[in-house]
Structure 1
Amino acid sequence: MPKIKDIVRVLEQYAPLPYQESYDNAGLQTGNPVDDVTGVLLCLDCTEAVLDEAIEKGCNMVVAHHPVIFKGIKTLTGKNYVERTIIKAIQQNIAIYASHTNLDSVHNGVNAKIAEKLELQNIKVLSKKPHTLMQLVFFVPVDDTEKVLKAVHEAGAGQIGEYSNCSFQVQGTGRFTPSENADPTIGEPGKPEQVQENRVEMVFPAYLQHKVMDALLKAHPYEEVAHYLTILENPNQEVGIGMVGELENPLTEEQFLAYLKEKMKLQGLRYTSIGNKQIKKVALCGGAGSFLIKDAIRSGADAFVTGDVKYHEFFDAEGRLMIADIGHYESEVFTKEIFYDTISKNFPNFAVYLSEINTNPIRYTY
């Protein structure tokens, strides 16, 4: 039987917490990490009704997309649904975990799931994040290179998209003189030394810095390891907000709207018209994504699918693309499937349930 920390570890390997936005509060919100997990209930929003469902199904852990604890809480008196949900979770010993903007930001997260539902091809991150990659350069004796490379690769360095164990190296001569207090692996204290060394370069996700450096220092034969660490300006091709891809065949405006309603199981949607232009390239963002309208235009998209678009933001389309507001809940409800696949893959024969509660606070009438 896995423990709460085991479920958390798997979820955070998939969507690392450092990728969440600064305003967010993803992670474990209630529960003791060392407790055993009897079952996991997956949802978009953790509410009192969802906790009741968890109790009914014998689950003591709820994994949600939206954090129930989002802003600071100064009291727990049950005056609103957030406080009542937290109180009930604590009373019933139910752990609540949220994977929010970190799951929005990874290339196989929320937006990839929408692209999958729309059957888009050639998908790419729409707005890539800079400053999430680091470059490591280190110098190592030629004979020890493979051992050190293996260690840092296992720590997560040198993974570039679909390519693993990536590095660049060039050979040269290392020169040094150990002090009288040194304990050199090669050479003697007080005597100049020359060693054939490899200069090795690779990139890695910045949040893995401590893990990669620990691996380097433990595997390297030298007492003092010469190295450089640099934060890169390069946008991370696998980390960012939104996605853009292409439909297999172009659709007219009317056909695309019908396609959206079918694939995303919509009751309705709001949109801007683009006249007779066909829709082939589609940008998207789960949740509230109007801040990406300009990025969608720059990408050359014919349509931008998102939620929570305000009245004046629809004008920003300026006839250059269709904006389709399908609703916040509707754009992210399939996130539960990501949780299910991730947990079930790592913990087969374990009770994992998709919540049957519709937590959408918005209702539609026609």
Structure 2
Amino acid sequence: MIIQDVINHLEDFAPLSYAEDFDNVGLLVGNKNEKLTGILVTLDTLEEVVDEAIAENCNLIVSFHPIIFKGLKKITGKTYVERVVLKAIKHDIAIYAIHTALDNSFQGVNDAICNQLELINKQILIPQVQTIKKLTTFVPKNEAEQLRTALFKAGAGSIGNYSDCSFNVEGIGTFKGNELSSPTKGKKGSIHKEEETQISVTYAKHLEAKILKTLFKTHSYEEVAYEITTLENKNQHIGMGMIGELKESMDEIAFFNYLKTKMNTTHVRHSTLLSKPVKKIAVLGGSGSFAIEAAKSYGAQVFITADLKYHDFFTAENDIILADIGHFESEQFTKKILVAYLTKKITNFAVVLSKTHTNPVKYF
């Protein structure tokens, strides 16, 4: 197994095409074609984490946060980022960052928070736009079933809880090949009429290359006629944050004690308590001030996130309780998700959960 094989598994789980534009995800350091010796999973890649990878004989570090975020103009070892990169290169250790690709995954960062709080009826808080596409193509009527089946197998035609979804219209297609053509139907230089089926299927945008490869491989025509449209439909499974419900309503104080216990923290910064029972909870791991209005619009009584600034708390406006549990605390279960997933997919290599505590914030 090589490092690229692990990357393929990771990108099946959290495709990089759903990462935010500002982010720096993917293989940041190392050669994707190196033979794999082991995988170390961490929240942050620090020097101590690289040392841990060396000790565990792991030549791939899978990190939630990217160690390289902005461009590096020099690598002299002056900063912790430069020292990590130097040490990783010196010891032939690759570093892969998944960050907002996993933030936007339905089974990612925010799902982990919901599961920790035992929330039910989960859904995406801010669905990512333009992630659903539609393919329309035209195929000889007697080949339609074969093409539909191949497209479904490639991942097309899945809508929410339904699969093998398509729309089909029968009609007559016409074409005339020139002297350079090699038509599979009719003769070049003559207009040909063919009974055809128009097939339309939707698909997730990260599958586009696979869908088109399947289309061209399966279709019998020399020139395949097709159209691709980007849809504005909301994607139920891709996006930032989540909202769910407690199984039973709780008193505010009881909920905050529950929150601290479940999220392993002794401190929660919060806005004014409203003396109302809470049941509907919105969550967004990491810096989530941009999602306050979305949480309000869903009628959440509490929004759990991190990195709220002083003035952010005013925006609660007695409509919602904002709870800042800390950046590390909101993402602490992320590496366990990755370890569990990779352990199922890769059984013949060690997948090691990093023991290094990377939270830079300390409390008195």
Which interval holds the TM-score relative to the shorter structure? Answer: over 0.9
Mapped contact 2:273–2:321 kept (Cα < 8 A): yes
Query: How do 1:152-171 and structure 2 match up within 5 A?
Result: 152-171=151-170
Per-residue CA deviation, residues 85-138 of structure 1 (Å, 9 max, x unaligned), is: 110101111111110011101111111111111111110110011111211111
CA contact (8 A) 1:64 1:97 kept: yes
What is the deviation of 1:76?
A: 0.6
What does residue range 166-315 of structure 1 map to in structure 2 within 5 Å?
166-315=165-314
SS at match of 1:197: strand
For 2:314 and 2:20, how far apart are their aligned partners in 1? Answer: 27
Unaligned runs of at least 5 residues, structure 2:
none
Q: Which residue of 2 aligns with 1:93?
A: 92
Residues of 2 paired with 1:172 and 1:108: CA distance? 42
Q: CA deviation at 1:147?
A: 1.8
Number of residue pairs matched?
A: 364
**CA offsets per residue over residues 221-250 of structure 1, 9 Å max, x none?**
112222211111122221110000111000
Rounded Cα–Cα distance in structure 2 between residues aligned with 1:30 and 1:210: 25
| Range with greater deviation from structure 2 (96-105 or 203-212) | 203-212
Amino acid at match of 1:169: N
Identity across aligned pairs (percent)? 46
d(CA) in 1 for partners of 2:296 and 2:39? 40
**1:44·1:336 contact (CA, 8 Å) conserved in 2?**
yes
Could you tell me whether the CA contact under 8 Å between 1:134 and 1:229 is conserved in 2?
A: yes
1:337 paired with 2:336, answer yes
Deviations 1:49-68 (A, max 9, x none): 11111112221111110000
Equivalent AA in structure 2 for residue 159 of structure 1: S
Q: Distance in 1 between matches of 2:2 and 2:160?
A: 31
Structure 1: distance between partners of 2:116 and 2:167: 39
Q: Residue type of the partner of 1:254?
A: I
Instruction: Name the CA distance, whole Å, in 1 between partners of 2:39 and 2:340.
Output: 12
Letter in 1 for 2:206: Y
Contact 1:274 1:320 in 2 (8 A): no
Post-superposition shift, 1:180? 4.3
Q: Deviations over 1:138-175 (max 9, x none)?
A: 11112111221233223322222332222111222223
Counterpart position of 1:71: 70
Cα–Cα, structure 1 residues 341 and 161, in superposed 2: closer, same or farther, change >3 Å?
Answer: farther
Residue 330 of structure 1 aligns to a residue in which SS?
Answer: helix
Aligned to 2:144: 145
The 8 Å contact of residues 274 and 321 in structure 2, kept in 1 or not, is answered as no
- Residues in 1 aligned to 2:183 and 2:129: alpha-carbon distance in whole angstroms: 39
Task: Report the AA paired with residue 239 of structure 2.
Answer: G
Q: 1:56 corresponds to which residue?
A: 55
Q: CA deviation at 1:181?
A: 3.8
Give, in whole Å, the separation in 1 of the partners of 2:348 and 2:306.
Answer: 36
In structure 2, the partner of 1:39 is 38
CA distance in 1, matches of 2:285, 2:129: 21
Is this contact kept in 2: 1:133–1:234, CA < 8 A?
Answer: yes
Using the alignment, how far apart are the partners of 2:282 and 2:255 within structure 1? 13
State the Cα distance separating 1:273 from its structure 2 match.
2.6
Higher mean alpha-carbon deviation, 67-76 vs 211-220, is at 211-220
The TM-score, its normalising length taken from structure 2, stands at 0.97
State the match for 1:116 in structure 2.
115
Query: 1:283: Cα distance to partner?
Result: 0.5
d(CA) in 1 for partners of 2:251 and 2:305? 19
Counterpart amino acid of residue 92 in structure 1: H
Greater shift, 63-72 or 219-228, is seen at 219-228
Letter in 2 for 1:205: A
Match of 1:78, SS state, is coil
Helix, strand or coil at the partner of 2:238: strand
CA distance in 2: counterparts of 1:279 and 1:359, whole angstroms? 32
The CA distance in 1 between the partners of 2:155 and 2:110, in whole Å, is: 24
* Preserved contact between residue 127 and residue 295 of structure 1 (Cα < 8 Å): yes
Instruction: Give, as a single letter, the amino acid of the residue that structure 2 aligns with 1:316.
Output: T
RMSD of the TM alignment (CA)?
1.3
CA distance in 2, matches of 1:303, 1:332: 18
- The DSSP-based 3-state class of the residue aligned with 2:41 is strand
SS at match of 1:21: coil
Q: CA deviation at 1:193?
A: 2.8
